[in-house]
Amino acid sequence: MDTVGGPLELMASLGAFLFFCLMLAVPSGYSYGAALLLLAGLAYCAQRPALGLSREDRVLAWLLLVNTLLPLAIFLVHGDELKTIDQSSRYVMAIPIMWLCMKHPPRRSWIWAGVALGAIASVGITLWQRHWEGVDRATGFVTSAIPYGDIGLVMAMLCVAALFSRPATGTGRTWPWSCMLGLGVAAGLYSCVASETRGAWIAVPPVAVIFCVAFGRRRDLWRLLGAGLAVVALLAAVFVMMPDKGLKERSFEAVHEVQMYLRDRNSGTSVGARLEMWRMAIENIPKKPVLGWNYAEYEAEVHRETVKNKVDPFVATLANTHNNYLEACLHQGVFGLLVLLALYAYTFGGFCRRLRHPGRNVRIPAVCGASVVVSFFIFGLTQVILGRNNGVLFFLVSLAIFWGSMRHEEDRAQDPARPAGSVS
């Protein structure tokens, strides 16, 4: 692995490595690398450097700040419990990490090693839970099977992107990296399948489009085709060898449960209960469109409606609406929804504008960032993925790392005299 220069770059590289490597492998694994990155970011800001931010960078920083301040203001108005602003407080923490990565980005090889080893380590946890503990759906250490599968799939995607990079090994040989990253792809896919997370797979087609746009060139065609065929072969093998009571059966069950809800309004199933919660949220949002509902008040409203409309009691046991956008609009009003969508749209647009950049060191983090953003946007359609510490931190820290690295390399391409930073 290549060397790093300077304490801040060392902290950034080590923080990024630990963040991805420990994400799925140990309890609260997402916190250690994130804390180190935040500490390094604050240390960098304490030096009061000339940030040299572009207009694009400043807008993104303001969007992150607003996604913390608006929920805080709503919290004060509603008088909700303190835990309700736990996740929203993380957005502002991404700003110093992003600024750090723009000037002292993590080394690419450290990032890719963390992603690959993190995905591979998840397989050990998955096998232990499925075959020794007898758990039907692998959950890892992220409290639920759904975010475990989602993050496992995204890490597999990042490993595919890394295969188009050229991390230095110091020996001139790249095949050990390719083997490790290939194992990371297989491991991430396996953990996602073992979690039996259905909604995660909807993110695969748009991410495939991102890869085609970024690498649809003659010199990258063989890698793109090879990666695509390998992923298809791995998925086919996993689905063929999968037990009857697995993702296949859960997918068929989902279709059947939707049919039962539409026909009989049966809300006593997993999908039916979510659809009923969506219906209630859509009906109640217009009653308080600006500031949204207090959490306790809305919980009481759900209980009243379940009794009044003779809805299955199972609906009232759900922790949330299982939709990130309905949840934001329901409890933070229409402005809460708009600032969240603005963050998604702005970052996705920023990454996509660099997908055809001639510099590979700019294009690779752009692909990774765009893949993370579009994946989490889709995950949010069927769950409150940003309502969990593991989900919101994975999204924000990954966003900060890839945006900062991309912008650093872009500025360096315009100014060759700039320090190498993340170039391996």
For the stretch 249-274, pLDDT in tens is 666 676 766 777 777 676 767 778 88
pLDDT for residue 403: 98
Kindly report, residue by residue over 330-383, the tens digit of the pLDDT: 999 999 999 999 999 999 999 999 999 989 899 999 999 999 999 999 999 989
**The pLDDT of residue 277 is above 80:** yes
Rounded to an integer, the average pLDDT of 293-310 is 85
- pTM given for the model: 0.90
Q: How many residues does the chain have?
A: 424
Kindly report, residue by residue over 397-406, the tens digit of the pLDDT: 999 999 999 9
What is the number of domains present in the chain?
1
Structural domain contains residue 307: no
Give the pLDDT band (50/70/90) at residue 424: very low
CA distance 285 to 329: 7
Range of the domain at 110: 13-46+56-246+325-414
CB atoms within 10 A of CB 214: 25
- Burial of 170 (C-beta count, 10 Å sphere; 0-12/13-18/19+): exposed
Structural domain contains residue 26: yes
Kindly report, residue by residue over 94-139, the tens digit of the pLDDT: 999 999 999 999 999 999 999 999 999 998 888 888 778 777 788 8
Distances in Å between the Cα of 217 and the Cα atoms of 221, 225, 228 are 6, 11, 15
Structural domain contains residue 290: no
**The pLDDT of residue 75 is above 80:** yes
CA distance 313 to 273: 9
Structural domain contains residue 3: no
Give the pLDDT band (50/70/90) at residue 83: confident
Structural domain contains residue 114: yes
CA distance 304 to 316: 10
* H or E element at residue 380: none
Structural domain contains residue 398: yes
- 9 in Cβ contact with 104 (< 8 Å): yes
Structural domain contains residue 272: no
Structural domain contains residue 218: yes
